[in-house]
Structure 1
Amino acid sequence: MDLGLIHIYCGDGKGKTTAAMGLGMRACGREKKVLLTQFLKDNNTGELLSIEKLGENFQVYKGEPVKSFFKFMSEEEQFKTKNEHSKRFKEVTLKSINEDIDLLILDEIIASINLNLIDLQEVMEFLKSKPKGLEVVLTGRNPNQVLIDIADYVSEIKVIKHPYQKGINSRIGIEK
């Protein structure tokens, strides 16, 4: 790409990951090289199953599956998650540069930053020095103002109503 911009999909509503994946599918459909990694997720979603069918232009860089909310992890599990997330951020950004990726999707990186699993300053350094043609998507709730300031797109997805409020858990094919 000639000009790679920075996107943020944030808010408390459903659809941040779905929006990022949709952009990835659009780019892949136009023969762009897409790289995705998901933080704080379990690697067991319908999106990942669909991406596997798209071919080599849409790569997924999987991390260690996260099986519970961070606040419910033991100190040891939190420590391991922090190390893995920090290491994977460095690896995936290096991969995006070395392999001339067009679109890098960092799903739930904002939550990882907010939980101090990934250093905000390292993310900012990457965003400021990324290749000119690399498009980057960050998703998650409550982005830091410095991320909002550096981004070119900021889209907030706001919950008005959600089945979870009625006690309906996530369903395969819709939320998972």
Structure 2
Amino acid sequence: MDRKIVQVFYGAGKGKTSAAVGQCIRAASLGQSVIIIQFLKGKDAEEFNFLERLEPDIKLFRFEKSNGSYDELLDSQKKEEKQNILNGFNFAKKVIDTGECDVLVLDEVLNLLDWNIVSADDIIHLIRSKDDYCRLVLTGRSLPAEIAEYADVISKIELEKDLLDS
């Protein structure tokens, strides 16, 4: 593949990460190398710990040190965690710069905008930085128009009904 693809899963519904992971499993089954970097979920996000069993085909990285998600932290903890998250974002830049994988998933990266951890320009710069990957997958709750311009595939995931949370 000689052109990069930028794919986005966004919206208020559940399943954005699951959809991105589905892309990863598909890519790995085709012999492509896959890296997932998760943001804002804490180091103990158990819902996808099973992915660690898929290494080395799918590599999962979390840079946060806190057990809980970012929104549950005290302000003093958020300051330290913000630096850890930025380390993860910088790692994503390095992965792209070095062409380390075929598919790179930045799970919840769009939510970093809501917390003012990165800017839309930071994400756009990451998208535009280098063509050494086949697919870049971004997830999050909202998708700013300026980032949407760079996406080739956009899937909005909305919740219609959820009896499990009632």
Q: TM-score, normalised by structure 1?
A: 0.84
Partner of 2:136 in structure 1? 136
How many angstroms apart in 1 are the aligned matches of 2:14 and 2:73?
24
2:97 aligned with 1:81: no
Report the secondary structure of 2:41's partner residue: coil
Unaligned runs of 5+ in 2: none
Partner of 1:173 in structure 2? none
Partner of 1:44 in structure 2? 45
Partner of 1:7 in structure 2? 7
Which stretches of structure 1, 4 residues or longer, exceed 6 Å deviation after superposition? none
How many angstroms apart in 1 are the aligned matches of 2:18 and 2:81?
24
How many angstroms apart in 1 are the aligned matches of 2:30 and 2:69?
36
How far the C-alpha of 1:93 sits from its partner, in A, is 2.3
Retained in 2: the 8 A contact 1:9–1:139?
yes
**Equivalent residue pairs, number:** 165
Unaligned runs of 5+ in 1: 167-176
Partner of 2:152 in structure 1? 152
Q: Which amino acid aligns with 2:48?
A: E
Distance 1:66 1:16, change over 3 A: farther
Retained in 2: the 8 A contact 1:109–1:140?
yes
Partner of 2:17 in structure 1? 17
How many angstroms apart in 2 are the aligned matches of 1:72 and 1:17?
20
Retained in 2: the 8 A contact 1:37–1:60?
yes
Distance 1:70 1:164, change over 3 A: farther
Q: TM-score, normalised by structure 2?
A: 0.89
Retained in 2: the 8 A contact 1:86–1:119?
no
How far the C-alpha of 1:132 sits from its partner, in A, is 4.8
Partner of 2:110 in structure 1? 110
Retained in 2: the 8 A contact 1:10–1:16?
yes
Retained in 1: the 8 A contact 2:104–2:136?
yes
Distance 1:87 1:55, change over 3 A: closer
How many angstroms apart in 2 are the aligned matches of 1:82 and 1:118?
10
How many angstroms apart in 2 are the aligned matches of 1:71 and 1:41?
9
How many angstroms apart in 2 are the aligned matches of 1:39 and 1:55?
19
How far the C-alpha of 1:65 sits from its partner, in A, is 4.5
How many angstroms apart in 1 are the aligned matches of 2:24 and 2:100?
15
Distance 1:111 1:66, change over 3 A: farther
Map Cα deviations across residues 66-123 of structure 1 (whole Å, 9 max, x no partner).
4445444222111112211112111122024325310000000111122112232221
